Amino acid sequence: MAFAPRLLLPSRCPPPASSPARHGGRTAPELSGPTPRVVVVTSGKGGVGKTTTTANLATSLARLSLSAVAVDADAGLRNLDLLLGLENRVHLTAADVLAGDCRLDQALVRHRALHDLQLLCLSKPRSKLPLAFGSKTLTWVADALRRAANPPAFILIDCPAGVDAGFVTAIAPAEEAVLVTTPDITALRDADRVAGLLECDGIKDIKIIVNRVRPDLVKGEDMMSALDVQEMLGLPLLGVVPEDAEVIRSTNRGVPLVLNDPPTPAGLALEQATWRLVERDAMTAVMVEEQERPKKKAGFFSFFGG
């Protein structure tokens, strides 16, 4: 008896920016919607790869010549500067701008190798954002970036874990959301809760990235597939990122995965997710019948679109 394992196939699977021939000759995706687009990258649960995702999406956008400002919205435990290799260049923050101590352009840290990528940190490590700034802090920052002489194409906000005041501050200016989760029940319960909060705040364009997928465990039915995650959350898929040992090396070097040469599986998946983000595209999960496998019950196998 044949069975139908679950296989993920993208509706349009964009290959990496470094392979224009695989885009039908295109060297960049078609930017959808007015700019700047304000996207919050969130998860609810900590440790699922949200900051890594933000760093790689921002880097991929810059490689595509789409200007991006990556905002670390964690007021006390910032890490985005480390993943971008900019930890020694952050001297001024958004808190300094709002206090009137500097201009916004002075607080923006431009990446030396990627001139279309800039970093803005909400505040300095081990410091707290003054309560007087309130939840509209990043709304003011986003409005200022919109009014700039050369506004960015994207503002990516790296949201802190949890759903407290930091979460409220981070999602306030956002029009779109990327919800990062891993295929385990604790992360999924938090992701489902966050999705509801985002919708209540008026953010309807929500897509999910399923991170740290282990195809071997999915095949053995020891891990949920990306299709299972999509069905549970009821949201479109932006990308599926496989478990990759290179993530730790990349983090420790301060070099985003998408800059690796040769590319890694996770880096390729994040580049593809960036193309979908730019074009407001999504992966489509379909059922694909496979040949008969005797003595094995119906199962599922998830592959990342590529």
**Helical H runs in the chain?**
50-63, 80-83, 94-98, 104-107, 137-146, 165-171, 185-200, 215-219, 226-233, 246-253, 265-279
Say if residue 51 carries a ligand binding annotation: yes
Q: Is 47 annotated as a binding residue?
A: yes
49 is in an annotated binding site: yes
Hey, what are 284's tokens? 């489509």
- CB neighbour class for 53 (10 Å; exposed up to 12, middle 13-18, buried from 19): buried
DSSP state of 201: T
Query: Any residues with CB less than 8 A from the CB of 64 and at least 6 apart, and which?
Result: 17, 28, 29, 274, 278
Q: Are strands 154-158 and 37-42 parallel, antiparallel or unpaired?
A: parallel
- Phi and psi (nearest 5°) for 81? -65, -35
Residue 211 tokens read as: 């991170």
To the nearest 10 degrees (0 to 180), the angle between helices 265-279 and 50-63 is 70
Which residues neighbour 290 within 8 Å (Cβ) at sequence distance 6 or greater? Answer: 2, 3, 4, 5
**What gap in Å lies between CA 150 and CA 83, rounded to an integer?**
25
> Would the annotation count 45 as a binding residue?
yes
Is 234 within any annotated ligand binding site? no
| Residue 202 assigned to a binding site | no
Residue 49 phi/psi, 5° resolution? 105, 25
SS3 117: strand
Annotated binding site: 45-52
Which segments are annotated as binding site for ATP? 45-52
